[in-house]
Structure 1
Amino acid sequence: MLNTSLNKSLRMMFALLALIIGIGLIMPTAYAADDQSSKQQAASTSDADLWRAVKAGESGYSTDKAIEANVLINKAGNEGKEIRNVYIKPAIVVAVFGVFGAFLFFYLVNGPAKLAHGFSGKMLERWTKADIKLHWVMAISCLTLMLTGIFIMLGRHFIAPYVGDGLWASIIAVSKFVHDWSGPIFIVSWLICIIKWMPLQTFKMYDLKWFLVVGGYINFGPFKGKHPDSGFANAGEKMWFWTLVIFGLFISISGLMLVLPTLDLPREASIAALLVHGISAAILIAFTIVHIWMATVLSEGGMESMVSGYCDENWAIQHHNVWYDEIKANGSIKYKS
């Protein structure tokens, strides 16, 4: 009987000991598994927060001492790229094809502004030789910048798909080189033009009528034959001049910010300069196309003055009568011998 009780007690003790040992083995493993799960969950949450912060443009730490080296992803850069692709690129396309197409349609329907009394054959001086050279230096550099800028901005869409990679790389490299070196020529000539011609570009009350009758360029309806008063520069030329002054300044400053190697600008400033550059370019391209149309095919005899410096007397009377009356009255009129 005693042996039976002892055996039973020993079995219970061994069972209890086995239970304790089992619990001792299981609990650390379970705790470790639970701790690992908690760590994984915390790590997952931490990683998500980290990348959310990175994408939001928050700065971290880097041993690189360059400006904004601590920012892995620049939010302003991504937003600027979206603005350029969604708004500025289409605006440049509209400026080139839309404005050109509109004036082509106007020309086909309306025709050029003819001289009411034909050419007189008497040529009077309108521009000096220095003015002509200055105009063409600025004009050629400006057109070069516009053409190469269009290649740089839009070439990947309408050139790159149709040429090989090697040729496209050469086109974009040459475009950038020419664009960068034409810039200083434009800036210097633009600044001289502003200083030299600004006194001739002040708006007068009679300029309002010029806009109301569309400058006398319409050959049908109630506007036909209406030749508004105009000084040395008509209202349209004055508007073009001040557009060139304002947006030429914007495009010059932003261009210098983008190309000068010594400037270490924050990314936000570089993106702002790029956007201002693109917007200014779209506006100047549109106004340049208008200026070229108005000065050439839409105005009979208009181009001659910027080639030789002389204009026909009847052209001066019809398009710039106030200026003609002034130089005739003060005796400063100069005829081509």
Structure 2
Amino acid sequence: MKKYLFLMLALSSALFAYSTVSEANQEIINNMLSYEKDGNTHLGDLFVYLQTKLFENAYLFVIVLVPLVFFIHYMIIGPKKFKHDGKKYYVFTLFNRIIHGIAAISFIIIIPTGLIMMFGSTFGGGEFVKACKELHAVATVLFMISVIPMFLMWLKSMLFTGEDIKWFMILGGYLSKEKKPVPAGKFNAGQKMWFWVCTIGGVMMIFTGATLYVQDLNLAVLTMFGLSKIEMLRLCIIAHNTVGLAMVALFFTHVYMSIFAIKGAILSIINGYKEEEEVAILHSSYYKELEKNKK
């Protein structure tokens, strides 16, 4: 029953997005046009095209088809299940878990409120959308607290290696019901991709979001690069929407993999322990390292 409810929600979200994104984008464009009094037309055509064509279709794809693809995967392939009564490995320290927890809470707030702000016309604007804007800003502060420690503590483990190419070639083994060892270290290629988008992309989102949130702020960067206010706002919106697409898509993926695709996987970031069979199959290189060092 829950599976069919999930499908209904995915399909209904398609109608929701399609009916609202055009109106939301038009509102942004109208606001941008109000700054054109000085005759500045830099990025004008590109901005209008991206807001009305590319971003509209891209966000519609992400918020509808990505969850739908995962639903189909869950129905056909199903989740991977591993033993939970054998040996365990302590892979995440308390500090790791606290920092990850802060980042997770921030994203749980940032993603929905960001989408509500984008589709604000459906909610009639007003106090609800304004409240979401404020929550979005508060959650961004939480993310700012976690992003640098998270970057530093996992930087070495998140560097790409040759085995990540092999992981991508078999899509981490998630298209098969068989449990065969997958080439991956402590973090697989998908997790590494999410890490870089989350941290480096997250810093970009903080800067562009702050610029849009406080539009009257006289930023020194404007004079540094010879940009006018309208040019800066347009660049920030384009960058924010572009990185936001990747963040939303990979956030959905991260949630699906940790909660649905691998049964019990989310417990490791709560108690710090991973099951031996899960490590041996999904992180085979890391497993060999642990066994070699008797950890």
Give the TM-score normalised by structure 1: 0.68
Counterpart-to-counterpart distance in 2, 1:143 and 1:119: 27
Structure 1 residue 76: Cα displacement:
5.2
Q: Any idea what the Cα deviations from partners look like across 1:234-265, whole Å, max 9, x if unmatched? A: 12111221222342232122112223453355
Asked whether the 8 Å contact 1:151–1:172 carries over to 2, the reply is: yes
Letter in 1 for 2:199: V
Provide closer, same or farther for how the CA distance between residues 152 and 82 of structure 1 changes in structure 2, counting only shifts above 3 A.
Answer: farther
User: What secondary structure sits across from 1:279 in the alignment?
Assistant: helix
Asked whether the 8 Å contact 1:215–1:227 carries over to 2, the reply is: no
User: What secondary structure sits across from 1:311 in the alignment?
Assistant: strand
What corresponds to 2:117 in structure 1? 152
Asked whether the 8 Å contact 1:295–1:302 carries over to 2, the reply is: yes
Counterpart-to-counterpart distance in 1, 2:240 and 2:36: 27
What corresponds to 1:255 in structure 2? 209
1:317 to 276, 280, 295: 280
What corresponds to 2:251 in structure 1? 288
Matches within 5 A, 1:98-177: 98-115=65-82, 118-156=83-121, 158-160=122-124, 168-177=125-134
Q: Does 1:245 align with 2:202?
A: no
Q: Does 1:233 align with 2:199?
A: no
Asked whether the 8 Å contact 1:120–1:314 carries over to 2, the reply is: no
Asked whether the 8 Å contact 1:76–1:271 carries over to 2, the reply is: no
What corresponds to 1:215 in structure 2? 172
Letter in 1 for 2:133: K
Letter in 2 for 1:236: G
Provide closer, same or farther for how the CA distance between residues 196 and 272 of structure 1 changes in structure 2, counting only shifts above 3 A.
Answer: same
Counterpart-to-counterpart distance in 1, 2:179 and 2:39: 62
Q: Which runs of 5+ in 1 are unaligned?
A: 1-56, 58-67, 161-167
Letter in 1 for 2:244: A
Matches within 5 A, 1:60-71: 71=37
Letter in 2 for 1:248: G
Provide closer, same or farther for how the CA distance between residues 69 and 136 of structure 1 changes in structure 2, counting only shifts above 3 A.
Answer: closer
Structure 1 residue 325: Cα displacement:
2.3
1:185 to 131, 139, 142: 142
Counterpart-to-counterpart distance in 1, 2:57 and 2:113: 17
Letter in 2 for 1:289: F
Counterpart-to-counterpart distance in 1, 2:145 and 2:293: 33
Counterpart-to-counterpart distance in 2, 1:273 and 1:242: 20
Greater alpha carbon shift after TM alignment, 309-318 vs 101-110: 309-318
Counterpart-to-counterpart distance in 1, 2:88 and 2:293: 18
Asked whether the 8 Å contact 2:181–2:283 carries over to 1, the reply is: no
Counterpart-to-counterpart distance in 1, 2:72 and 2:128: 32
Structure 1 residue 132: Cα displacement:
0.9
What corresponds to 2:6 in structure 1? none
Q: What percent of counterpart residues are identical?
A: 24
What corresponds to 1:4 in structure 2? none
User: What secondary structure sits across from 1:229 in the alignment?
Assistant: coil
Counterpart-to-counterpart distance in 1, 2:246 and 2:89: 34
Q: Does 1:274 align with 2:237?
A: yes
Letter in 2 for 1:302: A
Counterpart-to-counterpart distance in 2, 1:133 and 1:72: 49
Matches within 5 A, 1:51-62: none
User: What secondary structure sits across from 1:170 in the alignment?
Assistant: helix
The structure with more radius of gyration = 1
2:260 to 297, 301, 310: 297
Counterpart-to-counterpart distance in 1, 2:134 and 2:48: 22
What corresponds to 1:26 in structure 2? none
Asked whether the 8 Å contact 1:113–1:219 carries over to 2, the reply is: no
Q: Does 1:96 align with 2:51?
A: no
Asked whether the 8 Å contact 2:211–2:217 carries over to 1, the reply is: no
Counterpart-to-counterpart distance in 2, 1:215 and 1:70: 49
Matches within 5 A, 1:194-205: 194-205=151-162
Counterpart-to-counterpart distance in 2, 1:130 and 1:173: 34
Provide closer, same or farther for how the CA distance between residues 77 and 71 of structure 1 changes in structure 2, counting only shifts above 3 A.
Answer: farther
CA RMSD for the aligned pairs? Answer: 2.5
Greater alpha carbon shift after TM alignment, 237-246 vs 99-108: 237-246
Letter in 2 for 1:97: V
How many aligned positions are there?
A: 253
Structure 1 residue 82: Cα displacement:
5.0
